[in-house]
Amino acid sequence: MVYDTYDAWQIYQACKIHYNSSYDMSKYGYNIKATSWQNFQRVSNKRIFTTLARRYKDQYPDFIKYSLFNHGDTNWVGDLQDDNIVDEFWEHQKYIQNSSYYFDKDMDGIFQVMYNNQIEFKDVFINKDVEQLPIIERLYIQGLISVETLIVLDRLIHWMDKVECDNPIWELSKKRKQKLNPFISIEHNGKIKQVLLKYVK
């Protein structure tokens, strides 16, 4: 399936609104007032939406949702053609297609941090200073674990809302992850739970 240019633009616009407001694209879709046909007629870069839609076909919505999560400050859709952004999306697809393997890989990294610092699993989600980010968030910022793993863990143990942190970076980061959550199509099957139990006894 290839999305037509209007649909491709609608998805992009609705997704930007989704990440920057209380609007929930996962509930209400992308056919909203802000993405009307009249507004579309004023768009000058329609060709780029056509190019992206043809490139990603049925994966186009996933590409937009994931890329705008990572690069929400993008003001021009043409930036999404950057090779680094494209590579990020294909790495994301690898995680989705083999989630238990990548989850295990990230959990091993978390375990190494636990071992090196002589801390327990619960301590990874605790910040001793309310202005300090929790360890697991710092590992994510450093690129040592993926956002997919953070979301899987939140679905399993609901850690995000338990963090007591006054750091404004955390509040923004948590909200964006919670906005991304409905778009991450990872089933919490027995393999995922077995991986978690391997590290948390």
At residue 189, the pLDDT reads 67
User: Does the global pTM surpass 0.85?
Assistant: yes
Domain match, 126 and 75 both: no
Domain identity same for 35 and 77: yes
- Final residue of a domain: which of 94, 118, 135? 94
Q: Are residues 33 and 69 in the same domain?
A: yes
Residue ending a domain, among 94, 116, 149, is 94
Domain that holds residue 150: 98-199
Q: Is the pLDDT of residue 188 over 70?
A: no
CATH code at 66? 1.10.8
Query: pLDDT of 69-122, one tens digit each?
Result: 999 777 789 999 999 999 999 999 999 999 999 999 999 999 999 999 999 999
Summarize pLDDT for 148-187 with one digit per residue, the tens: 999 999 999 999 999 999 999 999 999 999 999 999 988 7
From residue 201, alpha-carbon distances to 163, 193, 198 in Å are 22, 12, 7
**Residue length of the chain:** 201
Is residue 81 domain-shared with residue 134, that is, in the same domain? no
Domain end position, chosen among 94, 129, 148: 94
Shared domain for 194 and 134, answered yes or no, is yes
Q: Are residues 19 and 43 in the same domain?
A: yes
CATH code for the domain in which residue 116 is found = 1.10.220.50
- What's the domain count of the chain? 2
Tell me: pLDDT of 127 over 90. no
Confidence at residue 95, expressed as pLDDT on a 0 to 100 scale? 95
**Residue-level pLDDT at 61:** 96
User: Per-residue pLDDT tens for 11-44?
Assistant: 999 999 999 999 999 899 887 888 899 999 999 9
Lowest mean pLDDT among 37-41, 55-59, 144-148, 187-191: 187-191
Whether 157 and 163 have beta carbons less than 8 Å apart is answered as: no
